[in-house]
């Protein structure tokens, strides 16, 4: 089963929208980016999913995984002891 993702993206009216991964329409729109980030982060936490924040140009500037991460970062502590 794939994880649900919540994306904070700029909208055409100058505000910010929260969109589920793969959705064509926004879940909810906001006037400020910080309001959209708070809403999307809470949704991602409730769904134990992914959270993405996009810049005005569409690039991803921040992301987080909530719940159990299927691909956790490797522990490189062994490599440092050599």
Task: List pLDDT tens digits, range 34-58.
Answer: 999 999 999 999 999 999 999 999 9
Expressed as residue numbers, the domain containing 9 is: 5-66
- Beta bridge mates, 54: 60
Q: 75 lies in a domain?
A: no
Determine which of 23-32, 57-66, 68-77 has the lowest per-residue pLDDT on average: 68-77
Is residue 14, in this structure, part of any structural domain at all? yes
Asked, for residue 19, whether it belongs to a domain, the answer is yes
Give the H or E element holding residue 44: helix 33-47
Which region, left, alpha or beta, applies to residue 64 given φ > 0 means left and ψ of -120 to 50 means alpha? beta
Rounded CA-CA distance 75/13 in Å is 44
Write down the pLDDT at residue 69: 65
Q: What is the mean pLDDT of the chain?
A: 87
pTM exceeding 0.85: no
Q: Looking at residues 14-42, what average pLDDT do you find? A: 96
């Amino acid at each position: 089963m794939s994880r649900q993702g919540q994306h904070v993206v700029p909208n055409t009216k100058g505000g910010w929208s929260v969109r589920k991964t793969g959705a064509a329409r926004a879940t909810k729109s906001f006037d400020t980016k910080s309001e959209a980030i708070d809403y999307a982060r809470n949704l991602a936490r409730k769904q134990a999913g992914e959270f993405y924040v996009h810049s005005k140009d569409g690039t991803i500037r921040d992301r987080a995984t909530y719940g159990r991460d299927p691909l956790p970062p490797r522990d490189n502590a062994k490599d440092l002891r050599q």
